[in-house]
Amino acid sequence: MKILLVEDDNMHADFLMEIVEQALPEFDEILVAHNGKEAETLAHRHQISAVVMDLRMKEHNGIEAARTIWAERPDTRILFWSNYSDEAYLRGITRIVPDQAAYGYVLKTATQDKMRLALRAVLVEAQIVVDREVHQIQAQQMRSRSALTEFEYLILLDLALGLPDKAIAARRKLSLRTVQNRLLSLYDKLEVESQDQNEMGIVLNKRTRAVSSAIARKVINREGLIAANKELGDWLARAPASQR
């Protein structure tokens, strides 16, 4: 059996190699990729069914690599391993996980025992495992009044990519009035001021302020915007000119 480790930091890659050898003796071949593109190539070439994936890498991030791998083999088991527990990463993963896939999310601060348990649970037993700290963040999001709905999150990404209301409505198959109502809710949750101008008389752009607030709150990030921009390009290539 083969397993693919995806990590761009040599020290972390060595640690992964050592712990995988201890925890997963049934895997007799360990392949290592140093970025997402290399991971996609190796996963395709060797028909990999088990992956440990770093999320944030300089060349092609883990979410994009996982999306490509799952598109080809939806039953691939992927354990995400990251320093980050931001809402943006959680949303990025949940948006791309196939229904039949086993996956996990473990922080790099996890103990070796927890890492061993997660490796076996996800890659051998096909369970879904989420680090307790990450799970707490998910639970807080669900309980919070300021938590964005999935549609609000998608509209936020569209705002960040520069789409006007009419194009958002066409892309998301919503009425223009619905998009505008969702925007008002989005502004409220991100605490974008309702006044049109500040005490200096400078008019502030609410759309830009909403994106700025979302970045500051770690609701969206670079990796999520890269993925969203790719999806936008695919939509623009298919959409009639009247909808763009």
Q: What is the mean pLDDT of residues 219-244?
A: 84
Contacts of 179 (CB under 8 A, 6+ apart): 155, 165, 168, 169, 172
pLDDT digits (tens, 9 = 90+) for 22-76: 999 999 999 999 999 999 999 999 999 999 999 988 878 899 999 999 999 999 9
Amino acid 162: pLDDT: 95
Most confidently modeled range among 117-121, 148-152, 233-237: 117-121
Amino acid 25: pLDDT: 94
Most confidently modeled range among 3-12, 198-207, 233-242: 3-12
Q: Domain 144-238 carries which CATH code?
A: 1.10.10.10
pLDDT digits (tens, 9 = 90+) for 61-109: 899 999 999 999 999 999 999 988 888 888 888 888 999 899 999 999 8
pLDDT exceeds cutoff 70 at 122: yes
Superfamily of domain 2-141: Response regulator (3.40.50.2300)
Q: Which of 131-152 are b and which e, b meaning 16 or more Cβ less than 10 Å from the residue's Cβ?
A: beebeebbeeeeeeeeebeeeb
pLDDT digits (tens, 9 = 90+) for 176-223: 999 999 999 999 999 887 655 566 677 788 999 999 999 998 889 888
Mean pLDDT computed over every residue of the chain: 89
- Domain locations in the chain? 2-141, 144-238
Q: Which of 28-41 are b and which e, b meaning 16 or more Cβ less than 10 Å from the residue's Cβ?
A: eeebbbbbbebbbe
